[in-house]
């Protein structure tokens, strides 16, 4: 492992800095300004990290392969190969693995209020209280959240903090929506689908959501999704309807603004994410409280700076300046373990940049991770 305090050299411009990832080997300036020149280094880095877990380096696109259309990758999987997320395999021209009836996941209960990205503004964690959708006038102490962690992801984030799902995601026995809903009891007041990313198993999560609402008809059961936003647009209306009616929310992790930065960090484009976020913003007027659409961004040192945050915040503000936005502090993980934690000055600069773009509900989250200046 590379020491966190050691400077690394950008293989394109030669600059040495603590804020260059040894995995990528290029600085953010070269990514944004000379992308064509450094693209091969970025692709090489992602290929290496995928091969380590026996995952396809890029979304398979075999003309006569079996097609999956749940997320932006729209894998067309040839015989004997896997989908980009690792959840499906073409076996003798039949797609096996995750499906509407078979979910590959972990689940557990979290006492409310949780450390959820939306806890400061949602019906289960906020001090404001939303009696129509909550058992309490403030934080919902005494109740719990059913946290459903879906394996698989449509992105390949080099800083992934939940990377363990990559270790043979379908080796574990799958669980049906019916079996999962059986665990809901009288003290369960909300469900959050996250991961990995629920986009890759969206049909399963929607079935769980419907069954959960049927089981708890007449009482509170909020339904939330926390996602990278890459799901196929055909599922957005159903997700929105469920969250709006139940008092839940949809949380998007907007990882970068510039597509080049996003490609470098996550391996895929952010166009679908931004399009989906824009579409869901059109539902906000249907339920203003508690907030329906929420955004967050992880402040990756050296890569997600105030320029990226300014672009994201300006985009959000243009849709609705009331949309809550949380800036999350980075902790070294996965293939970006050699970067420092987000510094206080980095976070404050990004907070100021977001506010200058007109956002009215923006904050710094998990401040306990803030480190020293770079």
Domain CATH code at residue 244: 3.20.20.70
Structure tokens at 249: 């929310």
Kindly state whether residue 73 falls inside one of the protein's structural domains.
Answer: no
- Residue 240 in any domain: the answer is yes
- Over the stretch 24-38, which tens digit does the pLDDT of each residue have? 999 999 999 999 999
Chain segment 211-249, per-residue pLDDT in tens: 999 999 999 999 999 999 999 999 999 999 999 999 999
Percent of the chain residues past pLDDT 70, beyond the cut? 99
**Which of 4-13, 15-24, 225-234 has the least mean pLDDT?**
4-13
Q: Which pLDDT does position 5 carry in this prediction?
A: 61
Give me the mean pLDDT over the 356-374 stretch. Answer: 94
**Residue 282 is assigned to a structural domain of this protein:** yes
CB burial of 313-348 (b: ≥16 within 10 Å; e: otherwise) equals: bbbbbebbeebbbbbbbbbbebbbbbbbbbbeebbe
Q: Which whole number is the average pLDDT over 297-326?
A: 98
Mean pLDDT within 279-287: 97
Count: domains in the chain = 1
In a domain, 78, yes or no: no
Could you read off the pLDDT of 36-84 as tens digits, one per residue? 999 999 999 999 999 999 999 999 999 889 999 999 999 999 999 999 9
Q: Is residue 35 part of a domain?
A: no
Q: Please indicate, yes or no, if residue 364 is contained in any of the structural domains.
A: yes
**93-150 per-position pLDDT tens digit:** 999 999 999 999 999 999 999 988 999 999 999 988 898 999 998 999 999 999 999 9
6 band by pLDDT with thresholds 50, 70 and 90: confident
Give the range among 163-177, 246-260, 299-313 with minimum mean pLDDT.
163-177
The pairing of beta strand 144-150 with beta strand 222-227: unpaired
**What confidence tier does 2 reach under pLDDT thresholds 50, 70, 90?**
very low
| Residue 64 within any structural domain of the chain | no
Beta bridge partners of 213: none
> Which residue range is the domain that position 159 belongs to?
105-369
What number is the average pLDDT over the span 154-172? 93
In the structure, what pLDDT confidence band is assigned to residue 168 with cuts at 50, 70 and 90? confident
The verdict on residue 99 lying in a domain is no
């Amino acid at each position: 492992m590379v020491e966190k305090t050691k400077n690394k050299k950008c293989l394109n411009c030669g600059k040495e800095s603590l804020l260059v990832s040894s995995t990528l080997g290029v600085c953010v300036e070269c990514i944004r300004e000379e992308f064509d020149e450094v693209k091969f280094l970025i692709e090489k880095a992602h290929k290496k990290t995928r091969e380590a877990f026996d995952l396809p380096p890029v979304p398979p696109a075999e003309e006569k392969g079996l097609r999956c259309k749940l997320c932006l990758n729209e894998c067309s999987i040839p015989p004997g190969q896997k989908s980009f997320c690792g959840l499906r395999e073409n076996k003798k021209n039949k797609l096996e693995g995750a499906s509407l009836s078979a979910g590959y996941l972990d689940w557990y209960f979290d006492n409310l209020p949780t450390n959820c990205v939306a806890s400061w503004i949602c019906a289960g964690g906020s001090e404001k209280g939303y009696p129509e959708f909550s058992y309490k006038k403030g934080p919902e102490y005494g109740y719990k959240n059913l946290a459903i962690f879906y394996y698989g992801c449509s992105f390949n984030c080099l800083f992934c903090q939940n990377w363990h799902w990559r270790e043979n995601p379908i080796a574990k026995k799958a669980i049906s929506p019916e079996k999962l809903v059986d665990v809901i009891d009288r003290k369960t007041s909300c469900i959050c689908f996250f991961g990995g990313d629920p986009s890759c198993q969206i049909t399963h999560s929607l079935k769980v959501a419907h069954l959960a609402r049927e089981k708890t008809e007449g009482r509170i059961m909020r339904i939330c999704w926390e996602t990278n936003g890459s799901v196929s647009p055909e599922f957005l209306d159903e997700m929105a309807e469920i969250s709006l009616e139940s008092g839940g929310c949809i949380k998007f992790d907007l990882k970068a603004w510039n597509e080049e930065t996003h490609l470098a960090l996550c391996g895929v484009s952010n166009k679908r994410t931004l399009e989906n976020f824009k579409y869901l913003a059109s539902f906000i007027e249907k339920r203003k409280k508690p907030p329906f659409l929420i955004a967050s961004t992880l402040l990756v040192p050296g890569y997600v700076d105030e320029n990226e945050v300014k672009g994201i915040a300006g985009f959000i503000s243009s849709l609705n300046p009331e949309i809550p936005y949380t800036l999350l502090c980075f902790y070294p993980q996965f293939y970006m373990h050699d970067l420092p934690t987000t510094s206080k000055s980095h976070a404050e600069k990004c907070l100021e940049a977001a506010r200058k773009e007109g956002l009215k509900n923006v904050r710094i989250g998990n401040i306990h991770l803030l480190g020293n200046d770079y």
